[in-house]
Chain A
């Protein structure tokens, strides 16, 4: 019998991950056993293979299909091997330009708007490099990415290379029926993450009259067309009262996920709206108040409360974000941040950064880890400042932070968010600094307060503290 790999999978190997496959439209690779990998290498239409339990199992999982002798599989499916570590995704800021002038924008080091932008031809070169490095998907972001003059051409170039857009971050201003039709024609079905900062507050945050109505229209257009929409909503002193009516409105127009984000002390926000940030524990308290009301509201949107909890009303479950490891699950080799480890940040100026949300900080502090206009992506992924920062692990954090090393909660939090550790660190550059938000969460009883607020729902991340 002859078999070929299914059109939906691609066999891949990386340093430390020698046996894996990508599934089309699934951003992350999956592990294969020795036995499975060896057999899949033979499924090329040229090897006569005896049907077995293993071939049946691979067929039932849609990894292979029977074929005629000599049938060819796609170039994308064929096994490819990369000398560097596994990096599946790029968070790509195609332009720094934006039609809004948001007061809290984390991209800008100061109030001067970012004007850098990827030239189309250079960007196509980057897409070729990404494909050659085993990148599978993108988050496309800005600035306002849809402001890029070749936005739809960029989308098409990504899909031409068998990669896909997993997420699109936008303010929604340029979303039209025509654009959504073009997305569908290309097969582009990303989660569309639209920033919406609250009823009665959005125009002020965006520094643009009429932005609120236009954004809500864009969200509704996306959901009517069957796109998955997440609303990214800032939380600070000036919009707390509007959160519940905002949630109701977003729920009613079909948003699938509401992500509430504490407006962080980014340089620009501190300059534009001093004193508006909620203190960490004020934020926790306000979010638990919100969640108490939300869980009894009948709304069905999933809610991601930044750094605190993820809530799933469909089955009345939630997980607590500070619990990185469950009981007895601590892994010293785990990366300090899963997001940083999984997604290469690329700024509109070509800098490679571990966390795009911190790009304003890096710029302000003159921290540069490599630039794609002068250094190939493969080289930056193989070794050097960026690779070492992205791949550092919780064991190193523990050894470089005496407070974490002595803390009884470290086995649960792994030190927390390294970006917050950096933001609150007194030193100029210390990626092992303490994330005080997690220290407060565990030391001041917010674990139990969260459980109490979500009483009656199942905690998927319960630990014995």
Chain B
């Protein structure tokens, strides 16, 4: 588990800390979080917007190498663990260190 999640667990009531530590997968942990009305810090920040149709701008993931806008990984290509995107120009599956976010 990453540092964010470890810190989150530290802040939970003792009973929930035990349950969180016993989770065997990230999916199981995420469900525990949802059932107990907890928010994961980074998700809490990303999971908000200013309402539907709020902005003409968008956050886009851009390839560090060629600056092309990334897409989801097409079907059939292997996906690494964690977040991944596809660069249609480099024709490569990228992990988050390979891209940055731009507001357009």
Question: CA of A139 to CA of B50 in the docked complex: distance in angstroms?
Answer: 8
Please provide the chain B residues from 25 to 40 with a CB less than 8 Å away from any CB of chain A in the complex: 30-31, 33-35, 37-40
Chain B contact surface mostly: loop
Partner of B48, one of A88, A304, A462: A88
Per-position binary interface string of chain A over residues 367-406, scored 1 when its CB falls under 8 Å from any chain B CB and 0 otherwise: 0000000000000000000000001011110000000000
Docked-complex contact A85 and B54, CB < 8 angstroms: no
Q: Write the residues of chain B forming the contact surface with A, with a CB cutoff of 8 angstroms.
A: 3, 7-8, 11, 30-31, 33-35, 37-45, 47-56, 58, 60, 69, 71-75, 79, 83, 88, 104
Docked-complex contact A339 and B51, CB < 8 angstroms: yes
4 closest A-B pairs by CB: A342-B48, A257-B56, A395-B34, A332-B34
Chain A residues closer than 8 Å to B88, beta-carbon distance: 458
Partner of A31, one of B45, B47, B56: B45
Partner of A28, one of B48, B52, B72, B104: B48
A434 at the binding interface (Cβ < 8 Å):
no
Docked-complex contact B69 and A462, CB < 8 angstroms: no
Chain A residues closer than 8 Å to B73, beta-carbon distance: 327
A83 at the binding interface (Cβ < 8 Å):
no
Question: CA of A319 to CA of B83 in the docked complex: distance in angstroms?
Answer: 18
Q: Write the residues of chain A forming the contact surface with B, with a CB cutoff of 8 angstroms.
A: 14, 16-20, 27-31, 33-34, 85-86, 88-89, 91, 137, 139, 166-167, 191, 228, 230, 232, 256-257, 259, 261, 302, 304, 306-307, 310, 312, 314-315, 317, 319, 326-329, 331-335, 338-339, 341-343, 391, 393-396, 417, 458-464
Sample of 19 further A-B pairs with CB below 8 A, known A167-B50, A306-B52, A458-B69: A16-B39, A17-B45, A34-B7, A312-B104, A326-B72, A327-B72, A327-B79, A331-B30, A332-B30, A333-B30, A334-B47, A338-B49, A341-B47, A341-B48, A391-B39, A395-B31, A395-B34, A458-B71, A463-B72
Chain B residues closer than 8 Å to A312, beta-carbon distance: 58, 104
The 12 listed contacts between A and B (C-beta, < 8 Å) are A16-B38, A18-B11, A33-B3, A86-B39, A86-B45, A166-B50, A259-B53, A306-B52, A331-B30, A333-B38, A338-B48, A339-B48
